[in-house]
Chains A and B, each alone.
Chain A
């Protein structure tokens, strides 16, 4: 015979909740907001001497992605007029640096990360680099995959 109607069978949700919170914590810790500024579809050139650069405590760099056809993207959006974009970004950065007390801003203390596809023609890369140089940028980080990373599946 069946038991009383008032008795309800409830699963113990506590272990499941524990596990889900652990997973949430894991994903929160590994989430990479900087990845949003990178175009992961690019096939970067492979170099043995390329080393990851740590940016902790340094000024946030300007990241420019250059596709094979020479088009530029930044922060996930295509940039139709790269010249206007660089001028605007430089102005914003200069204002920010001035507000922090920087005086000599002829040479920008902020690096530019050039993430160009390995098949992009030099003419296009040179155009972007020249634009940055004309706006005072001198420090450049040319992105590449290390040989070990490129071999990884």
Chain B
């Protein structure tokens, strides 16, 4: 005798979905609780070689400006001093004895700094900029200065991407 049940007409087999739904809700709860939409961040890509010895390029004769190409030539480096007040804001930016910007670094000052730096890069084949910044300077302010530097075009037509930092205290010590 066959033990196989014969399906009665009109009787349909139904899956118990409640268990699957429970599991799906648990997964959903996990993903909702761990969901943290991260903001779209930008990055400023810079090549930061180690600092070089500080020399004043304006004091050097022009024939030294190009160097022999072996290693890093300090005469191809533009040393820019960035001074700050106790609140971490920029008070002065200078190259050698020439002041490029004085006071808070607002949009107008940024434009003026960019033009002044452009003049330096048009006259001398600098390859990189060394920012000698006050230790108190806020990072946000420094980024404004870096942004201006990364917009500068070198004499070979490439954009400036070699930037290094030194803290003023380290130079004085």
A117 to B88, CA, bound (A): 13
Q: Can you list, as one digit per residue, whether each of B71-91 has a CB less than 8 Å from chain A (1) or not (0)?
A: 000000000000010001000
Cβ–Cβ contact B44 & A47, under 8 A: yes
8 Å CB interface, B4-44 against A: 17-18, 20-21, 24-25, 27-28, 31-32, 34-44
Cβ–Cβ contact B44 & A35, under 8 A: no
Cβ–Cβ contact B43 & A45, under 8 A: no
The answer to whether A45 and B139 touch (CB under 8 A), given A35-B36, A133-B50, A146-B42, is: yes
Q: Any chain A CB within 8 A of the CB of B153?
A: no
State how many angstroms separate the Cβ of B33 from the closest Cβ of chain A.
Answer: 10
State how many angstroms separate the Cβ of A75 from the closest Cβ of chain B.
Answer: 14
Cβ–Cβ contact B147 & A27, under 8 A: no
A44 to B50, CA, bound (A): 25
Cβ–Cβ contact A20 & B21, under 8 A: yes
The answer to whether A47 and B167 touch (CB under 8 A), given A35-B38, A120-B139, is: no
Q: Can you list, as one digit per residue, whether each of B113-133 has a CB less than 8 Å from chain A (1) or not (0)?
A: 000000000000000000001
Q: Can you list, as one digit per residue, whether each of A6-33 has a CB less than 8 Å from chain B (1) or not (0)?
A: 0000000110110011011001101110
Instruction: List the B residue with the shortest CB-CB distance to A127.
Output: B167
Cβ–Cβ contact B48 & A144, under 8 A: no
Interface SS, A side: mixed
Instruction: List the B residue with the shortest CB-CB distance to A116.
Output: B139
Cβ–Cβ contact A149 & B139, under 8 A: no
Q: Any chain A CB within 8 A of the CB of B66?
A: no
How many residues of chain A get a CB closer than 8 Å to chain B's CBs? Answer: 54
Q: Any chain A CB within 8 A of the CB of B104?
A: no
Q: Any chain B CB within 8 A of the CB of A50?
A: yes
Pick the contact of B24: A20, A30, A119, A144 (CB < 8 A).
A20
Cβ–Cβ contact A126 & B167, under 8 A: yes
A15 to B21, CA, bound (A): 11
A121 to B146, CA, bound (A): 15
A111 to B43, CA, bound (A): 12
Q: Any chain A CB within 8 A of the CB of B47?
A: yes
Q: Which residues of B does A touch, CB under 8 Å?
A: 17-18, 20-21, 24-25, 27-28, 31-32, 34-50, 84, 88, 133-140, 142-144, 146-147, 150-151, 165-167, 169
A-B pairs with lowest CB-CB distance, top 4: A50-B42, A118-B140, A27-B31, A123-B135
Q: Which residues of A does B touch, CB under 8 Å?
A: 13-14, 16-17, 20-21, 23-24, 27-28, 30-32, 34-35, 38, 40, 44-53, 66, 111, 113, 115-123, 125-126, 129, 133-134, 138-146, 149
